[in-house]
Amino acid sequence: MDPPAPGPVGTEATSCQPPTQLTVTGKRKATCDEAYTTADNAATSRNITGSTDTGDNRLNVGSDMQRRSFSSWQACEAYLSEYEGLTFQVMAKVQTAVARNKAIDCENSSARLIPLEWKFYAKTYECTHAGIYQARGEGKRSRQESRALDCKAQFILCVRCNGQNGEFTLCVTKTTLVHNHALSLRTFQHYPSTRLAIPNEVMDTVDVLQRSGEKSKRLLKYIRENSSCKVVGRDVHNLVARRKASESGSSTVADRLHKWVAEFANEPGNIGRVFVSTVTEKTRAMREMFKRFPEVLLIDVTHGTNVSKYKVFSFMTHDAFGHGQYVQHAVVQNEGYETLLTAIETFKKHNPDWTKVVIDRLHRDERFEDGVS
């Protein structure tokens, strides 16, 4: 038996189909009263259901919103949290109440200003497959697949003034739920936002495992066993990266480096110093090593050690077996003469046996040999 044909675009269909992902985009210039018809103020709250799969040859129509007016954006978001299970909505660009009030003032309109507590004036939710793919390459390896399919499915919510009591309400002013692509449960489950809808209790355990040093494969296995999310390895890798970034907070690299040196210097026998552009550190074992073998000293600079482009200015000596052993590290911001000379002077200060050096070798630049001679 063939399914019933959907209604015209912009109306509620007679049959519900599984949802597709929606994102918010766009900005409206016209008022809701001028652009759209009056919304139904009688809000009803009914269960939203949909089928699981549709054939590729069918006209795909998403489930319409059963509730069409709300008292606040918070109430709307609470309703959409249930609706997202079928329509997969993600908010992006919106028009704020401040921008709307500026437009009213510029146009000298008689419309009432939107109260600032609403924060947003309108939101447009459109299908994640909306838009046309814009190629940025040179055409040598054209992209075969793209999410942008120029889908026209969307719905719009707008803050409006009720003429009867003068109160502002949030209304669904327009719905267009006909899609130009197939809708299926399998496709919906593999959208990134659906894959990463991990329950809070599972995420709490993942945080503990991640802090204890568990590898990504272990985290991936745990998430799959304790949730219905279809996560992949790349999702776990990105999740761990975001968690580490949130743990570091808003502190800069310099702040974290300064904190690390302070903790390092608190260890018995260790020495840590922070200058304007140089950070030096030396353990007790390094000092003992140079005290025993001070004859040969090698100085080297390593470039681009991390994303912050710091350089490591290292001092090495040769042990009894002829192997190189580090005796001091200096993290420097640049290779200027003053910066490197500061590291050398620090080495001399904390190694009285530097006068016993017979051979010194500077790998990068001979002009700094005067600092250790």
> How far apart (Å, rounded) are the C-alpha atoms in residues 200 and 328?
46
Residue-level pLDDT, tens digit, the chain, 373 residues? 444 443 334 444 333 334 444 444 443 333 333 333 333 332 233 333 333 344 443 447 767 777 777 777 777 777 776 776 666 544 444 455 566 667 766 766 666 777 777 777 777 777 888 888 887 777 777 766 777 888 888 878 888 777 677 778 888 888 887 878 777 777 777 778 778 888 889 988 988 888 888 888 999 999 999 988 888 888 899 888 888 777 666 566 666 666 766 776 677 766 666 554 455 555 666 667 667 666 666 666 665 555 566 677 777 777 767 667 777 777 776 666 677 777 777 777 777 777 777 665 555 444 444 444 4
> How far apart (Å, rounded) are the C-alpha atoms in residues 160 and 34?
11
Are 23 and 90 in contact, with CB atoms under 8 Å apart? yes
Are 372 and 357 in contact, with CB atoms under 8 Å apart? yes
Are 138 and 122 in contact, with CB atoms under 8 Å apart? no
Please spell the DSSP secondary structure of 275-326, one letter per residue: -SSEEEEE-HHHHHHHHH--SEEEEEEE---STT--EEEEEEEE-TTS-EEE
What is the model's pLDDT at position 222?
92
Name the token pair of 38.
Answer: 């009056």
Are 125 and 22 in contact, with CB atoms under 8 Å apart? yes
> How far apart (Å, rounded) are the C-alpha atoms in residues 246 and 85?
27
Are 118 and 75 in contact, with CB atoms under 8 Å apart? no
**Strand 271-274, strand 22-24: pairing:** unpaired
Please spell the DSSP secondary structure of 84-138, one letter per residue: HHHH-EE---EEEHHHHHHHHHHTT--SPPPPGGG-EEEEEEEETT-SB----S-
Give the pLDDT confidence of 306-323 residue by residue, as tens digits.
Answer: 556 667 777 777 776 766
Are 25 and 92 in contact, with CB atoms under 8 Å apart? yes
Q: How far is CA 89 from CA 32, 37, 194, 235, in A?
A: 22, 23, 10, 19
Cα dihedral angle (133, 23, 104, 170), rounded to 10 degrees? 160
Cα dihedral angle (330, 335, 338, 344), rounded to 10 degrees? 40
What is the model's pLDDT at position 6?
39
> How far apart (Å, rounded) are the C-alpha atoms in residues 86 and 273?
58
H helix or E strand, kind and range, residue 240:
helix 233-248
Are 332 and 278 in contact, with CB atoms under 8 Å apart? yes
DSSP 274: E
What is the model's pLDDT at position 306?
58
